Amino acid sequence: MLKKILRIIFLLIISIEIIALILFFARPHFSTRNIQKSKSEAISLLPDSCEEYVTHANQLNDSVRNYLEQSYLSGIGILKYYREIKPKIDSGKLVLIENNRHYLLDTMYYSYPFLTVKSADLLNEIGEKFHQKLKNTHLKKTKFIVTSLLRTVSSITRLRKRNRNAIKYSSHLHGTSFDISYDEFDNPKKLSAAEFEYLKEILAQSIFELRNEEKCWATHERWQTCFHVVSR
Ligand SMILES: [Zn+2]
């Protein structure tokens, strides 16, 4: 009798083990789920420094829809021809922009070196910030390059013949906008690729801070390698 009971218990244990083995191999995701969970927990614990670095340049992403109307309202209207600029200067609506200790003007074929007073102040403020940030570095003598300022309908038409991507309804028509190059800087010494990258980021940071203070809108233009800035 005892022998029979022991045999039944033995068969029972064997059957349980067989069922457990079948379950384990038939549904393997049961076993990997915990591994995946611990993996994602580990990733969530990684320090911030392991995340992809977001540059200030990439955060300058205002679209023309955000500001075109406000730019028009705070600007000088739209000028058709170059000859219409002088009356705006005489009435104090536009001021001449010239090279100074912070920046140089590029040779401009499709724009004129004028801005509204508020926009000229903004450009100077960017210049001040940029130099303040470089003050204690070996790059302190660097000047940035302004590549575009006021445009007229006539100059935009000429530009569009050359560059079909140029926007017809540009805020450059309002005297509120300017472009600053980020792949060209003026410096007594020859700059390395790393120094160019650094200067681009310092320039972007200067603009970014003023954008946070709601003094401007700004866009990182990839095609034209410049920061397009609109005073606010
Ligand atoms: Zn622009």
With helix as H, strand as E and coil as C, how does 126-146 read? Answer: HHHHHHHHHCCCCCCCCEEEE
Q: Residue 107: give the domain boundaries.
A: 56-231
Q: Which residues of 85-119 are buried (b: 16+ CB within 10 A; e: fewer)?
A: beebeeeebbbebeeeebbebbebebbbbbbbebb
Contact indicator for 150, 195 with CB cutoff of 8 Å: no
Ligand 1 centre and the CA of 95: distance in Å?
18
pLDDT tens for 67-113 read 999 999 999 999 999 999 999 999 999 999 999 999 999 999 899 99
Ligand 1 centre and the CA of 229: distance in Å?
7
Mean pLDDT in residue range 160-172: 80
With H, G, I as helix, E, B as strand and everything else as coil, classify residue 183: strand
Residues 46 and 60 in one domain: no
Would you state the structure tokens that stand for residue 222, as one six-digit string?
């990839």
Using 50, 70 and 90 to split pLDDT, how confident is the model at 147? very high
How many structural domains are present in the chain? 2
Residues 37 and 131 in one domain: no
Whole-model pTM over 0.85: no
Ligand 1 centre and the CA of 69: distance in Å?
15
Ligand 1 centre and the CA of 215: distance in Å?
16
Give the closest residue to 182 by CA, choosing from 52, 66, 56: 56
Ligand 1 centre and the CA of 177: distance in Å?
6
Ligand 1 centre and the CA of 150: distance in Å?
9
Residue at a domain's end among 10, 25, 50:
50
Residues 133 and 156 in one domain: yes
Residues 179 and 227 in one domain: yes
Q: Is the dihedral of CA 42, 48, 53, 58 positive or negative?
A: positive
Q: Would you list the DSSP string of 13-78?
A: HHHHHHHHHHHHHH-THHHHHHHHHHHHHHHHTS-GGGSPPPPHHHH-B--HHHHHHHHHHHTT--
Residues 19 and 115 in one domain: no
Picking from 19-23, 53-57, 123-127, 185-189, which range would have the lowest pLDDT averaged per residue? 19-23
Whether the pLDDT of residue 158 is over 80: the answer is yes
Q: CB-based contacts of 190: which residues, under 8 Å, 6+ apart?
A: none
pLDDT > 90 in the chain, percent: 68
Beta bridge partners of 227: 180, 220
Ligand 1 centre and the CA of 11: distance in Å?
84
Mean pLDDT in residue range 191-214: 97
Residues 35 and 147 in one domain: no
Mean pLDDT in residue range 7-32: 53
Q: Give, in order, the Cα–Cα distances in Å from 182 to each of 38, 72, 156.
A: 44, 26, 22
Ligand 1 centre and the CA of 156: distance in Å?
12
Using 50, 70 and 90 to split pLDDT, how confident is the model at 20? low
Ligand 1 centre and the CA of 228: distance in Å?
4
Pairwise pLDDT comparison (52 vs 232), residue with the higher score: 232
Q: How far apart are CA 22 and CA 190, in angstroms?
A: 71
Res 7: pLDDT: 73
Ligand 1 centre and the CA of 172: distance in Å?
6
Q: How far apart are CA 146 and CA 125, in angstroms?
A: 14
Mean pLDDT in residue range 158-177: 85
Residues 10 and 74 in one domain: no
Whether the pLDDT of residue 132 is over 70: the answer is yes
Residues 41 and 125 in one domain: no
Using 50, 70 and 90 to split pLDDT, how confident is the model at 168? confident
Residue at a domain's end among 16, 34, 50:
50
Ligand 1 centre and the CA of 144: distance in Å?
15
Residues 23 and 82 in one domain: no
Ligand 1 centre and the CA of 90: distance in Å?
25
Would you state the structure tokens that stand for residue 42, as one six-digit string?
């580990």
Residues 72 and 20 in one domain: no
Mean pLDDT in residue range 17-32: 48
Q: What are the φ/ψ torsions at residue 134 (nearest 5 degrees)?
A: -95, -5
Residues 101 and 210 in one domain: yes
Ligand 1 centre and the CA of 170: distance in Å?
8
The CATH number of the domain holding residue 152 is: 3.30.1380
Using 50, 70 and 90 to split pLDDT, how confident is the model at 151? very high
Q: Which of 6-20, 40-54, 216-230 has the highest mean pLDDT?
A: 216-230
Residues 91 and 181 in one domain: yes
